[in-house]
Structure 1
Amino acid sequence: MQLSSPEPELVWTPEALAKLNNVPFFARTQAKSRSEALARARWTTVITVEVIEEARAEFGQ
């Protein structure tokens, strides 16, 4: 049996949260999920405006 380690908690900077809140409500959940997925893929636990912008560019938004 393999034990999986819990995923680290992600921390959003105030600037990143403000940017996320500017995303239309119907797309906000998807933008949040994509940003968090990108942060985890890059082994970072802090979501910044840069991470949001990179996620947006990577997913063609």
Structure 2
Amino acid sequence: MDWTADAEARLKEIPFFVRPAARKKIEKYAQEQGLGQITVEVYEAAKKQFG
């Protein structure tokens, strides 16, 4: 899945040891929403949903 540079930067703020799991959850969320790209808005929406 394609990530914008800003969304990638936000992902890098997450501790490295949980980053792969967070990436998978965010990408799954985007796919369920029918989206093809992770933007900061998608990142924030997924973060809000997962806490």
2:43 equivalent to 1:52: yes
Q: 1:17-28 alignment to 2 at 5 Å?
A: 17-28=8-19
Q: Letter of the aligned partner of 2:43 in structure 1?
A: I
Rg (Cα) greater in structure: 1
Aligned residues: 51
1:52 aligned counterpart, secondary structure: helix
Runs of 4 or more, structure 1, over 6 Å off, are none
Could you tell me which runs of 5 or more consecutive residues in structure 1 were left unpaired when the two chains were aligned: 1-9
Q: Tell me the TM-score normalised to structure 2 length.
A: 0.88
What percent identity do the matched residue pairs reach? 41
* Greater relative contact order structure (CA < 8 Å, 6+ sep): 2
Cα RMSD (Å): 0.9
Greater share of helix: 2
